[in-house]
């Protein structure tokens, strides 16, 4: 008889990078950010990049205005300065790698009721859960190429610090460059345990200490 496994009564907890434009003038854009607890934006060289338009220009990163976030706390407000904004729409992206391919959250500047066609933050959800299989669905920003850009996912047993998680129980790469998809972890999962799944934007060779965290999903099994 196979062992049964299910999620505990408490729902999984998702923490991810989110940003919101507080206000914009012709020369400045104030951005409120909330990243994953434990992040140190200035130390880890997080950046914000601004483009004209309503989509991130992944192919032309140099056309954007990139500024380093100089806050030390994982949540705060950063004012992008020395801009020259017209009355057109703009988009700003937050990167945990310091480069455009590492952008994991976005927000429209002066966009009104513009409808976004994809998530504005990286999201994680549990698909199937079995003793020897865990399916995780992910969604990233429109235009992101997860495989090419070096995105990866890790699974740890326990409630771990995603920035210093130690050796993962298992890792998976996105199967392709579609911005949304799923991966399957085939490691043995135990009942009555806490697990942590992390989505990282880069530096996949460094799995035990990584600063590119975009989203973390924690859940308990029963």
Return the CATH number at 44.
2.60.40.10
Domain containing residue 97: 15-109
pLDDT digits (tens, 9 = 90+) for 145-189: 999 999 999 999 999 999 999 999 999 999 999 999 999 999 999
- Taking the C-alpha atoms of residue 109 and residue 88, their distance in angstroms, rounded to an integer, is 9
DSSP state, 60?
-
Q: Are residues 38 and 124 in the same domain?
A: no
Single out the residue in 59, 78, 109 at which a domain terminates: 109
Q: Are residues 105 and 47 in the same domain?
A: yes
Locate tokens 């669905």: which residue? 137
DSSP state, 62?
G
Euclidean distance between the first and the last CA atom of the chain, given in angstroms as a whole number: 17
Q: Are residues 79 and 46 in the same domain?
A: yes
pLDDT digits (tens, 9 = 90+) for 68-111: 999 999 999 999 999 999 989 999 999 999 999 999 999 999 76
Single out the residue in 63, 82, 109 at which a domain terminates: 109
Q: Are residues 156 and 192 in the same domain?
A: yes
pTM beyond 0.85, yes or no: yes
Q: How many residues does the structure list for the chain?
A: 222
Q: Are residues 131 and 87 in the same domain?
A: no
Q: Are residues 74 and 133 in the same domain?
A: no
Of 166, 141, 140, 139, nearest to 155 by C-alpha is 166
Q: Are residues 35 and 70 in the same domain?
A: yes
């Amino acid at each position: 008889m196979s062992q049964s496994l299910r999620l505990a009564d408490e729902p999984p907890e998702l923490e991810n990078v989110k940003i919101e434009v507080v206000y914009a003038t012709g020369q400045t854009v104030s951005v409120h950010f909330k990243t994953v607890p434990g992040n140190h934006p200035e130390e880890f060289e997080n950046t914000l990049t601004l483009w004209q338009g309503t989509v991130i220009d992944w192919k032309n990163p140099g056309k954007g205005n990139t500024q380093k976030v100089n806050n030390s706390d994982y949540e705060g407000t950063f004012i992008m300065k020395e801009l020259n904004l017209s009355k057109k729409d703009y988009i700003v992206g937050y990167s945990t790698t310091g480069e455009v391919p590492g952008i994991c959250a976005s927000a429209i500047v002066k966009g009104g009721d513009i409808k976004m066609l994809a998530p504005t933050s990286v999201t994680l959800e549990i698909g199937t859960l079995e003793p020897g299989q865990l399916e995780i669905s992910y969604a990233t920003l429109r235009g992101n190429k997860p495989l090419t850009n070096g995105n990866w996912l890790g699974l740890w047993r326990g409630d771990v610090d995603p920035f210093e998680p130690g050796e993962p129980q298992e890792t998976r790469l996105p199967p392709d460059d579609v911005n949304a998809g799923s991966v399957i972890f085939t490691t043995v999962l135990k009942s009555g345990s806490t697990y942590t799944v992390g989505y990282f934007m880069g530096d996949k060779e460094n799995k035990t200490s990584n600063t590119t965290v975009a989203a973390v999903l924690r859940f308990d099994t029963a």
